[in-house]
Amino acid sequence: MKKSLVFWVEEYFYNPNFLQKLLSFLLLPLSWVYCLGMFIRFKSKTPVDFEIDIVSVGNLSVGGSGKTPLVTTLASRYKDAAVVLRGYGRSSNGLYVVKDRDTVLCDVNISGDEAMIYAHKLPNAIVIVSEDRPLGIQKAKEMGAKIVFLDDAYSKHDIKKLDLLIDVKTKNNRCLPSGAFRERLWSYKEAIVLEDGKDFKRVVNLKNKSAKMSLVTAIARPSRLDEFLPEVVSKNYFEDHHKFTKKELEEILKKDSSESLLLTYKDFVKVESFNLPISLLDLDVQVDEKIFSRIDNYRGKD
C-alpha cells in the first residue's frame, strides 16, 4: 500500500494524468496559503555567518534530483571539506559523525544511505548527519573543516551560504499540495540555478556487469535511470530509502534466474553486507569549470 501511494504521488507531482490535474487544480487555494507561509518564513529569517565557507546544493521540488553525485564531485575538489546533511531515512536521531577524515565511524542504519555514499566516495572529507544543520556546521568547524557542503538546505534561510539549485523539470510546477514545489526561488534571495546537461553532465559506469541482471532500486522517481540502463531482466522499484532485506533480494534473483542484481550506489551501501551477486550502476557527474569558479569567487569574498 505504501509503495503504491509513493509512486502515485510521484506521478501526481511530475507527470499527472487528467484526474490528478483536476485534483491539483482543486487544491490550489491550499497551495497559495502554503506558498505565502513559506515566503513569510523566508522573510522572517536573518542569515547567520558561521565564519566558514558554506555551499548548499539542493532543489526546490520534492523527490530526487541527483544532489548526491553533484555534492560528491564538488566536495572532492576541496581540501578540508565536510558534508553535512539531515540523514533522511536513518534509524538514528541527533548528530552523528559518520566519517572523520580517515575512518567510517558508524553503519548505514545510523548514517542513512546518502551519508554512507559520501563516506565511501569522499576519502578525505568529514561527513556529518544532523537534523540541526547549524549544529552540524559547528561540529565540522571543530573538526577542522574549511568548507562545508550542505545537502538539500536551500530552505535554511538562517544560514549564510552560497545556494546552488538543480533545475528539476516537471509538468506540475505548483507549490505543495497542488504541485511538487516546497518553495519558490524568491526574487530577494541570490541563488545559482544549475541545468543538467549544461552546467553538469551525468556519467554512468557499469561495474561487474553480468549477462542477466535484475534492476533493483529504491530512489525517488526511478524512471530517471532509464536512459542509463543496459538490458535487464526486470525492473524492481521500491519507495525512496527503502530498507532491503536479504530475503526479498534473493527472491528477485530466484524469480528472474538472474546472475546479479543491478543497483545504484545508494542501494548498494544498504546491502553490501548481504554477500549477494551485485552489478553496480555507479553515477558520477562532470561539472563545468565555471561552477567551481563561482564557488571559488564566493570563498574569496570578505
Asked if 128 contacts 139 with a C-beta cutoff of 8 angstroms, the reply is yes
Question: Which grid cell sits at 239?
Answer: 519507495
- Cα 211 versus chain centre, distance: 30
Q: How far apart are CA 280 and CA 222, in angstroms?
A: 15
Do 166 and 250 sit in the same domain of this protein?
no
Q: What's the pLDDT score for residue 300?
A: 82
**Full domain range(s) for residue 270:** 202-285
Asked if 244 contacts 27 with a C-beta cutoff of 8 angstroms, the reply is no
Do 154 and 233 sit in the same domain of this protein?
no
Do 235 and 255 sit in the same domain of this protein?
yes
Domain count across the chain: 2
Q: What is the CA radius of gyration of the chain?
A: 20
Instruction: Tell me how far CA of residue 192 lies from CA of 133, 180, 298, in angstroms.
Output: 21, 20, 12
Do 188 and 206 sit in the same domain of this protein?
no
What is the value of pTM for the model shown?
0.93
What is the maximum alpha-carbon separation in the chain? 61
Tens of pLDDT, residue by residue over 194-241, are 999 999 999 999 999 999 999 999 998 888 899 899 999 999 999 988
Do 166 and 84 sit in the same domain of this protein?
yes
Do 67 and 182 sit in the same domain of this protein?
yes
Do 183 and 281 sit in the same domain of this protein?
no
Asked if 72 contacts 233 with a C-beta cutoff of 8 angstroms, the reply is no
Do 227 and 161 sit in the same domain of this protein?
no
User: Could you tell me the pLDDT band of residue 1, with boundaries at 50, 70 and 90?
Assistant: low
Q: How far apart are CA 25 and CA 276, in angstroms?
A: 47
Percent of the chain whose predicted confidence (pLDDT) is above 90: 83
Q: Average pLDDT over the chain, rounded to whole?
A: 94
Can you give the CATH number for the domain in which 130 is found?
3.40.50
